[in-house]
Amino acid sequence: MPAIPGSNAPFWRRAPKLILRPLDYFEDNYRRYGAVFQVGEGPPPSIYVADPAVIQGIFQADAAQFHVPPQNVGSGLTFLLGDHSLLLLDGERHRRHRRLLMPPFHGDRMRAYGNVICDLTAQVMANWQPRQAFNLRAAMQDITLRVILKAVFGLEEGDRYDRLRQLLSTLLEGLGTPFSAFFIFFPGLQKDLGPLSPWGRFVRIKAEIDALIYAEIEDRRQHSQPDRTDILALMMSARDDQGQPLSDGELHDELMTLLVAGHETTASALAWALYWVHWLPEVGDRLGQELDPLGSAPDPLAVASQPYLTALCQETLRIYPVAPTTGIRILSRPLTLAGYDFPAGAVLFLNIYLVHHREDLYPEPERFNPERFLQRQYSPAEFMPFGGGHRSCIGMAFALMEMKLVLATVLRHWELELAPGDSRPLHPVRRGLTLAPPGRLRLVPLAQRSPQPLALTP
């Protein structure tokens, strides 16, 4: 079979464009080399994949065919999430953690989380004032962080809640800059030169966050409450096949993983969705026609089941996926798929952004068009904002429900418009490992659609 085409430019030459202009980097290589291309000097080769036939084969392959890159150990991501993070585990440890973590994100639990999401959105909206523009991403980050602290950590308002909220906001905002990505891609920059140095400040904030999380875990162990339904409580009660629970260290690392993976990502997706609703009035009009008949106190799960609202969220995640690639997979043994020979040791990056912009799958891919998801059912290898296969995101259902309920609650309660200076096309910017709308994006509340916050199902 023909060799996989690509460039042998060293990482230090490719890194600036990859970090600062990632979409241009992917598109340039796609145009030059096709849907499967390799980069770097190798061996082993680093290969980007944007061919759905190859991706489907990877998703369906035996999990033992792949392993997590060992270079993650000691990296900035490991320091942030911990050695026990589901994102960084491999083999049997990865399977064990997935089995223990999956139950809280499915079934009847979703109804309780839905009410929490609506309530917390209403709390944030209560601070908005007519004709006073607000920073959209900051507002969405406020909502998603409150959801994490309440639904995941199970924290009630108080000193620990307030301190964690402050520290986590500071930490994640510091990680959300293009500059911070260099610390993740280049571990050699991780130098603690004191509390005023960038990495030193990060280390100290992280240490205080760790202490607060461990204190919460200890309090839960000493004061068990079997009727609790937050995700931490369910994680603590879970047992593996040998009857063993997650340790304190494992609980801490998975909480950090859920926080980092579920806060910034969902906030960015919500900011994009609200931008599109107000950038394209016909989108907002059709969504309003779907939501208005639901009444003043709809069941959150009924709201989340609305087809156009669902399609709008899907199109938001398609056009500018928050994560441009899935997690790294390294081949443990050679694999042949769809006419390509992948050698053992090959580092595979499944490129979500390029797949979502294939003309053969999504005509006019640069156009925001939710109707495409009402007209066609896409396979897991064609639409994959949450990855796929045995390493798909366990919080996918929760994240989609959160997106839909926050959007519906905001749009049913407030009439909004883009701030005058933001009424122009926007493009993603780098925020650490993710892509997001520019931080300057603002909305202006014009008037409340109802005199009081929406009544919610008890």
CA-based end-to-end distance of the chain = 61
In the CATH scheme, what architecture does the domain 6-448 have?
Orthogonal Bundle (1.10)
* 115 close to 408: Cβ distance less than 8 angstroms: no
In terms of Cα–Cα distance, which of 401, 410, 406, 412 is closest to 305? 401
The mean pLDDT value of the chain amounts to 87
pLDDT of residue 378: 97
Rounded-to-integer distance, Cα 349 and Cα 48, Å: 5
85: left (phi over 0), alpha (psi -120 to 50) or beta: beta
CA 133 to chain centre: 26
In terms of Cα–Cα distance, which of 335, 449, 337 is closest to 44? 335
Rounded-to-integer distance, Cα 255 and Cα 232, Å: 8
Q: Is the pLDDT of residue 337 over 70?
A: yes
91: left (phi over 0), alpha (psi -120 to 50) or beta: left
Q: Is the pLDDT of residue 130 over 80?
A: yes
* 416 close to 446: Cβ distance less than 8 angstroms: yes
Segment 13-43, tens digit of pLDDT: 888 888 888 999 999 999 999 999 999 877 7
Averaged pLDDT, 245-270: 90
Averaged pLDDT, 414-435: 84
Q: Is the pLDDT of residue 102 over 70?
A: yes
The CA-atom distances, in angstroms, between 21 and each of 17, 242, 430 are 5, 47, 8
Of 158-172, 232-246, 439-453, which gets the smallest average pLDDT? 439-453
Rounded-to-integer distance, Cα 308 and Cα 288, Å: 10
Which pair of structure tokens corresponds to residue 345? 């040791």
What's the predicted TM-score (pTM) here?
A: 0.91
With 0-12 / 13-18 / 19 or more C-beta atoms within 10 angstroms meaning exposed / middle / buried, residue 242 is exposed
| DSSP code at position 435 | E
| DSSP code at position 439 | T
Q: Domain limits of the chain? A: 6-448
With 0-12 / 13-18 / 19 or more C-beta atoms within 10 angstroms meaning exposed / middle / buried, residue 452 is exposed
Concatenate the DSSP letters of all residues of 218-257 into one string: HHHHHS--TT--SHHHHHHH---TTSPPPPHHHHHHHHHH
The CA-atom distances, in angstroms, between 95 and each of 39, 262, 385 are 30, 20, 21
* Residue 444 phi, psi dihedral angles, 5° rounding: -115, 120
pLDDT tier at 70 (50, 70, 90 boundaries)? Answer: low
* 397 close to 385: Cβ distance less than 8 angstroms: no
Which pair of structure tokens corresponds to residue 284? 């907002």
The CA-atom distances, in angstroms, between 351 and each of 49, 318, 357 are 6, 12, 10
Share above pLDDT 90 across residues of the chain, in percent, rounded to a whole number? 54
| Residue of 456 and 282 predicted with greater confidence | 282
Q: Which SS3 state, helix, strand or coil, does residue 404 take?
A: helix
Q: Which SS3 state, helix, strand or coil, does residue 330 take?
A: strand
Element (H, E) at 399: helix 396-413
Concatenate the DSSP letters of all residues of 274-324 into one string: HHHHHHSHHHHHHHHHHHGGG-SS--HHHHHT-HHHHHHHHHHHHHS-SSS
Q: Is the pLDDT of residue 183 over 70?
A: no
Q: Which amino acid is at 376?
A: R
Partners of 67 in the β-ladder: 330
Pairing of strands 442-448, 134-135: antiparallel
Share above pLDDT 70 across residues of the chain, in percent, rounded to a whole number? 91
